[in-house]
Chains A and B, each alone.
Chain A
Amino acid sequence: MSDTALKITDVSVRYRLSREKPKTLQEYLIHRLKGKKTSYEDFWALKDVNLEVGKGETLGIIGSNGAGKSTLLKVVAGVLKPTKGNVSVSGKIAPLIELGAGFDMELTGSENIYLNASILGLSKREIDNKFQAIVDFSELGGFIYSPLKTYSSGMIARLGFSIATEVDPDILIIDEILAVGDEHFKKKSKERISRFREKGVTMLFVSHAMEDVSRLCNSVLWMDRGSPRMCGGPVAITTEYLKAMV
């Protein structure tokens, strides 16, 4: 147990789509009074997923759109509570799911660092300590004291990436965003991810870029229509996947 970073047991996620679901409070009350039963359709975004990831491992997750990759990440990140099954995680999770979540355009870069980092669960003291490193990595310089609405989209992305990777997580979740910005920044980002691997950070990496996946991951999980279809070595699985896509 001590060298498992993440263990998912029999996890299923069901979205219940009611056909005539009362969307307003009034309709709901009338429904209840009339004793009507709503008919519904179940959509299982994840079906009986079992997964174990060891510490320091990099797991790649591939699959076509709608296969359940993002849903799986949400379950791991604690965003979605599974309909069935259990998730056990050891350590702090940082999602690189859409950088700059919670950025407010009216606030300055520096204010947004505190806001964003606190969203990721850091305390004030931790943020104070990391502040300079975040600013340096983002290469924003004096712009850090300007409001975000004056930033270009590239600057915003760099700031987001910089904050998320400074968090120092035990488990890093990367959803299709490996590197942003120009060539120089992309290189820095890839170096940072490599350093995470060296530090023994566990990583979950969702991507459609097979070359990145086979290069970076220890093992790969192929999700298909909510269930794991195949799991194994990166080269083997990505090859199978590409074959099936033809």
Chain B
Amino acid sequence: MATYKSEAFDILRYKELLRNLVMRDIKVRYKRSVIGFLWVMLNPLLMMLILNMVFSEVFRVSTKNYTSYLLSGIILWNFFSHSTSTALPSLLVNSNLIKKIYLPKAIFPLSVVMSAVVNFVFSLVPLFFIFYLTDTHVGNRIIMLPLVVIIMGMFCFGVSLILSTLTVFFHDTIYIYEVGLLAWMYMTPVFFPESIVPERFRLIFHLNPMYYFISVFRGILYLDVPFFYEKLLYAFLCSLAALSAGWFFYGRYKDRVVYHL
């Protein structure tokens, strides 16, 4: 029915649906509770406070401004982990729709990633507030923020396409990913500084795409990151790779999805 290219055009044609899905997610989340709106901002702050209490003594020597380091890491990691985890079951969750009406199915993981972008933007508010409190200076690379958000979004979307399609055929993907994500987090310098990674693990560390995203994110915010532009390039290449792999995988199996829902 739809080839790779025409499916992309289809998603554009259905942009009103995309907008409605994202709005629905935002509205439903905030309608339920007063705190719903604030939770997006409070959650990373609370996480940061707890981890700060536990680790700040340990890492204070090697990281100046551990609080900002921690919060920026948490916010970016949350963007990735929440968007991919929520997108993973998105085709299953919307199976009743997919089985009845023609829709470009990729719109579901895409709407999840876009909602995550909105939440990410909101969570920047407490981040800049903490920067202000801790006297952290924002560099002028901050203008690259939209670019980084877009690259990050592309990466998440690519990963989400693979996960959501795979889950239709193998329901246990969610459990495997849960564990995998946890391990992935420990391989990314979210709450610990790079310097504590022993020499023999450095290679694995540098193969992790999230390592580049998190370095670049901190780099545009406040940190003086060595090899910043090289890392930015790597991050961009990783997101292109993820997007291509995801689009290819999804395209290959999307027509079979309905037969398994």
Q: Which residues of B contact A77 (CB under 8 A)?
A: 100-102
Give chain B nearest CB distance to A96 CB in angstroms. Answer: 10
Q: Which of A3-38 contact B (CB under 8 A)?
A: 15-16, 22-26, 28
Q: A122-B16, A123-B16 are in contact. Are A25 and B100 (CB under 8 A)?
A: no
Please tell me if A95 contacts chain B, counting CB pairs below 8 Å. yes
Q: Are B166 and A79 in contact (CB under 8 A)?
A: no
* A80:B258 contact, CB within 8 angstroms: yes
CB closest chain-A residue, reference B27: A107
A119-B103 in contact (CB<8A): yes
Does the CB pair B172–A118 fall under 8 Å?
no
Given contacts A15-B259, A23-B170, A24-B170, contact A79 B16 (CB under 8 A): no
Instruction: Determine whether the beta carbon of B28 is less than 8 Å from that of A118.
Output: no
Q: Does A98 contact B (CB under 8 A)?
A: yes
Distance from A27 Cβ to chain B, minimum over Cβ atoms (Å): 9
A161 to chain B, nearest CB (A): 15
Contacts of A115 in B (CB 8 A): 17, 20-21, 24
Interface residues on B, range: 20 to 34
Report which of A25, A122, A124 forms a contact with B170, defined as CB distance below 8 A. A25
The distance in angstroms between the C-alpha atoms of A23 and B170, with both chains bound, is 6
Partner of A118, one of B20, B98, B99, B100: B20
A111 an interface residue at 8 Å Cβ cutoff? yes
Number of residue pairs spanning A and B whose beta carbons lie under 8 angstroms apart:
83
- CB pair B170 A98 closer than 8 Å: no
- Tally of chain A residues near chain B (CB < 8 A): 34
Does A104 have its Cβ within 8 Å of any Cβ on chain B?
A: yes
Partner of B172, one of A25, A98, A123, A124: A25
What 1/0 mask marks residues of chain B from 74 to 110 whose CB sits below 8 Å from any chain A CB? 0000000000000000000000111111110000000
Most buried by A among B21, B24, B27, B102: B102
For A124, the closest partner residue in chain B by CB is B16
Residues of A within 8 A of B103 (CB): 119
**1/0 contact string of A90-114 vs chain B (CB within 8 Å):** 0001010110011010110001001
Q: Is the CB of B96 within 8 A of A101?
A: yes
Check if B202 is an interface residue, CB within 8 A of chain A.
no
Q: Does residue A232 face the partner (Cβ distance < 8 Å to B)?
A: no
A175 → B minimal CB distance (Å): 9
**Within 8 Å of chain B (Cβ to Cβ): is A127?**
yes
Is B13 an interface residue, CB under 8 A from the partner? yes
- How far is B17's CA from A123's CA once the two chains are assembled, in angstroms? 8
| Highest count of chain B CB atoms <10 Å: which of A23, A106, A114, A119 | A119
A78 in contact with B102 (CB, 8 Å): yes
A119 touches B258 (CB 8 A): no
By the criterion CB–CB under 8 Å, are A25 and B166 in contact?
yes
Given A81-B255, A107-B27, A118-B16, the answer on whether A23 and B171 have CB atoms closer than 8 Å is yes
The yes or no answer to A120 lying at the interface (CB within 8 A) is yes
Report if B200 contacts A (CB, 8 A).
no
CB distance B171 to A81 under 8 Å? no
Known contacts A81-B1, A104-B28, A115-B20; A28 and B101 CB within 8 A of each other:
no
- Which residues 217-261 in B have Cβ within 8 Å of A in the complex? 255, 258-259
Interface positions, chain A 133-189, Cβ under 8 Å from B, are: none
Q: Does residue B64 face the partner (Cβ distance < 8 Å to A)? A: no
CB distance from B177 to the nearest CB of A (A): 10
Cβ distance B2 to chain A, nearest Cβ, rounded Å: 9
Please give the distance in Å from B147's CB to the nearest CB on chain A. 28
| Contact bitstring A63-98, B, C-beta under 8 A = 1, else 0 | 000000000001001111100000000000101011
Please, how many angstroms separate the alpha-carbon atoms of A26 and B174 in the complex?
12
Cβ–Cβ contact B172 & A24, under 8 A: yes
B129 sits at the interface (CB 8 A): no
Q: How far is the CA of A48 from the CA of B17 in the complex (A)?
A: 35
* Listed A/B pairs (25) with beta-carbon separation below 8 Å: A15-B259, A23-B172, A24-B170, A25-B166, A28-B170, A74-B258, A77-B101, A78-B102, A79-B98, A79-B99, A81-B255, A93-B102, A97-B101, A106-B28, A107-B24, A107-B27, A115-B17, A115-B20, A118-B16, A118-B19, A118-B20, A119-B17, A119-B101, A120-B101, A127-B16
Closest 10 CB pairs of A and B: A78-B102, A118-B17, A24-B172, A118-B16, A25-B170, A81-B255, A115-B20, A97-B100, A124-B16, A106-B28
Given contacts A78-B102, A127-B16, 7 further A-B contacts (CB under 8 A): A25-B173, A26-B176, A79-B98, A95-B100, A111-B27, A115-B21, A120-B101
